[in-house]
Chains A and B, each alone.
Chain A
Amino acid sequence: MLATIAGKPVHVNDEGFLTEFDEWDEEVAAALAADIGIALDEERLAVLRFVRGDYRERGTTPTLRRVSATGGFDTKRLFVLFPKKPAKKMAYVAGVPKPVGCV
């Protein structure tokens, strides 16, 4: 469906995840983050940039382990930045699909 986020038309699926990679920008991200009670800052944006870059490169959303092992972000810190369900929340705010990997 077509929705308006941060004043821009964007496509989202029935769960609210963006479906068009290129419709994302940092203003959209800030609105998505606010939806789930997260205030976007530079530290979180750095994580989102990794998630998006990795998705662009590989075509799949990185798992939490990949974000920490390859992206170099500390696992404990990711649980603080994106509480409880970090992998799903990072994906949502980064405008990529929910991760499906096991580890």
Chain B
Amino acid sequence: MTPDRPVPTFDDDVDGGRKLCIICSKGSLDMAYPGLILANAALGEGIETHLFFTFWGYEIIRKKTMADLQFTPVGNPVSYMPALAAVPAGMQTMATRMMRRQIADLEVPTIPEMLDLIVDAGGHLWACRMSADMLKLKREDLHERVEGVIGATEFIEISAGAQTLFV
């Protein structure tokens, strides 16, 4: 029996073939979140999602750095701070602490927690092979849930048919 009222379809089938790939290339606190938040949102919509970490983006998945990403107001035109005022020692620490607090106030998880959340939701984390070689990092230096260290060609294969974002 069809109900005599609107029923959401949730478009489960419409998005059946949709796929999203996000290349995370930056390792500062403010640039780490956009990719992770978009990935989490896409997964919540039932979209197959892959994240590819390259170059400075490695900071996001490196055990040593992932919980300690920094934000610097230097060279950031929207931090509304006179250029030289942003330079003194301690400014980066202060700005980072402030941003971390704002993130926590919004109940947004830390970076390592975001990574777990993404994998729990069915997302895939990939690390760039060339960056690993350059930075002299091994698989065991990375977040446990990184699926593999892959080359550019493999990433291109994985991202076939996907919408790809470069962050």
Chain A interface secondary structure, helix, strand, loop or mixed? mixed
Q: How far is the CB of B109 from chain A (nearest CB, A)?
A: 7
Q: Which of B7, B37, B45 contacts A85 (CB 8 A)?
A: B45
Chain B residues whose CB sits within 8 angstroms of the CB of A12 once the complex forms: 5-6
Chain B interface secondary structure, helix, strand, loop or mixed? loop
Q: Mark B36-63, 1 if CB is under 8 A from A, else 0.
A: 0100110011100000000000000000
**What number of A-B contacts does a CB cutoff of 8 Å give?**
76
Chain B residues whose CB sits within 8 angstroms of the CB of A69 once the complex forms: 107, 109
| A-contacting residues, B107-128, CB 8 Å | 107-109, 114, 117, 120-122
A: residues with CB less than 8 A from B are: 1, 3-5, 12-17, 31, 35-36, 63-66, 68-69, 74-76, 79, 83-89, 92, 102-103
B: residues with CB less than 8 A from A are: 3-8, 10, 12, 15, 37, 40-41, 44-46, 106-109, 114, 117, 120-122
Other A-B contacts than A1-B6, A5-B3, A75-B121, 5 sampled, CB-CB below 8 A, are: A1-B5, A63-B44, A68-B117, A68-B120, A75-B117
